[in-house]
Structure 1
Amino acid sequence: MSRTITVKGVGRVSTPPDYIVISMSLEAQDTNYEKAMEQAALQIDYLNKALESVGFKKKSVKTVNFNVRTDYERVKDRNGNYKSVFNGYICNHRLKVEFDFDTRRLAQSLSAISKCLAKPELSIAFTVKDPSAVNKKLLKSATINAREKAEILCEASNVALGDLLAIDYNWGELNVVSRTEYMLDEKCLAMPMGAMADMDIEPDDIDVSDTATFVWEIR
């Protein structure tokens, strides 16, 4: 039976963000289904027009999630018994708009969104345009790290590192997002665009890590 050595390689990559994602959440509610849907459609129209006014192309806003549900409230009657009372239909719409890293364009976008009648909830993420490139660097880093560890262990044990026999890797999705939080109060969003555009920020680098397990023959 051949002797083997199993080593876990750890890959680490640090990269500056080059892409911005603005996530938006809209909610429309009405006791009439058609009116709830009309309100939801109107909100999206407001949002699209607001972003088109600052240079975005039509249909730049993409849907991430869309759902319609019924809403009920538990109410106690005069006899002390609870019953469900229909409140209406709630339409939730999660959307996003993405663009290359540009703090001035970010300020323009937030200013336009704040002025539109849809009034969505916002969150901003600083990420990378090509996550697969980061993943490739991670895998190379993990491979080099594992090989170095294996060679050190073999040298210290007075054995030779042989052929690579197996690689075990879990293809999970990486969260390639900067830890920098960008939050503005609603009153700040209402500031003139010029004041917001002057806020030039430099987000923290994105730090990601991943692992892979390698099995070598030892001689």
Structure 2
Amino acid sequence: MKTITIKSKGKISIQPDTIELNFKLSHENKEYDQTLLETTEKYNTLLSKLVHIGFTKESLKTLDFNIRTNYEDHHENGNYKRVFVGYICTQILKLSFDIDYHKLAQILEAISKSKTNPEISFNFTVKNKEVYADKALKDAAKKAFKTAKSLALASNVTLGEVVSINHAIEDHRFISDTKVQMHKNYVLSSSIELDLNVEDIKIEELVEFTFEIK
């Protein structure tokens, strides 16, 4: 059986519909229990500010929680020594919501006045990610069939059935290249809204079709 193999790349461009806010809370203290307590207090303060402007407690997700010892290097009389400083607790949190720059301004104002001083960054992403991956696959298939038909016609052969389909699963990030980071000492007013022209998310799927030719 004679065959022809076509490699096809499906591409789609997606306008982001979701803001993904990331908060990094950090606290240091010489006492382990006090470090945990003060980190928890920061978290609860941050959460209460978000609940006050309309979010649920379940909206704020913990991505990472870490507590570690902290040492400093000291040199005394020619001797090297590591000195215990305390404990550092770091908590990384995520808040996702539909793109709404007025809501974003409210969040940033509330947090800037909360004295929790988190480091903040945010990405732009999409909901229903599987739908867009399927669209990219359909685009790849459409292009493959079109190319196969054109080649068969040009080669004066008849295009037969699909013999095989190979598809390498892609780990798409679904994140726009537009990223925003904010210094933790910022102070914002909800009357000032960010106006961002966010970069579209680009998704590609590579598929290989093998057709019978007669």
> Is the CA contact (8 Å cut-off) linking 1:53 and 1:112 kept in structure 2?
no
Task: Report whether the alignment pairs 1:15 with 2:38.
Answer: no
Distance 1:186 1:118, change over 3 A: closer
2:213 equivalent in structure 1:
218
Output the TM-score relative to the length of structure 1: 0.88
Pairs aligned (count)? 214
Matches within 5 A, 1:50-65: 50-65=49-64
1:209 equivalent in structure 2:
204
1:133 to 131, 134, 151: 131
Shift of 1:156: 2.3
> Is the CA contact (8 Å cut-off) linking 2:70 and 2:85 kept in structure 1?
yes
> Is the CA contact (8 Å cut-off) linking 1:125 and 1:181 kept in structure 2?
yes
Shift of 1:184: 5.0
Cα distance in structure 1, aligned partners of 2:80 and 2:154 = 74
Q: CA RMSD in A?
A: 2.0
Question: Which stretch shifts more, 157-166 or 128-137?
Answer: 157-166
2:187 to 186, 190, 193: 190
Distance 1:153 1:86, change over 3 A: farther
Gaps of 5+ in 2: none
Shift of 1:192: 2.5
- Letter of the structure 2 residue corresponding to residue 210 of structure 1: E
Find the residue that maps to 1:164 and give its secondary structure. strand
Gaps of 5+ in 1: none
Cα distance in structure 1, aligned partners of 2:182 and 2:36 = 29
Shift of 1:131: 1.0
Matches within 5 A, 1:97-116: 97-116=95-114
Matches within 5 A, 1:105-184: 105-184=103-182
Cα distance in structure 2, aligned partners of 1:81 and 1:172 = 53
2:86 equivalent in structure 1:
88
Deviations for 1:27-74, whole angstroms, at most 9, x for unmatched residues?
122222111111211111111011122111223211111122222333
Distance 1:176 1:34, change over 3 A: same
Cα distance in structure 1, aligned partners of 2:40 and 2:91 = 10
- Letter of the structure 1 residue corresponding to residue 12 of structure 2: V
Determine what percentage of the aligned residue pairs are the same residue: 36
Distance 1:191 1:27, change over 3 A: closer
> Is the CA contact (8 Å cut-off) linking 2:120 and 2:183 kept in structure 1?
no
Cα distance in structure 2, aligned partners of 1:138 and 1:40 = 43
Shift of 1:135: 0.8
Cα distance in structure 1, aligned partners of 2:182 and 2:104 = 12
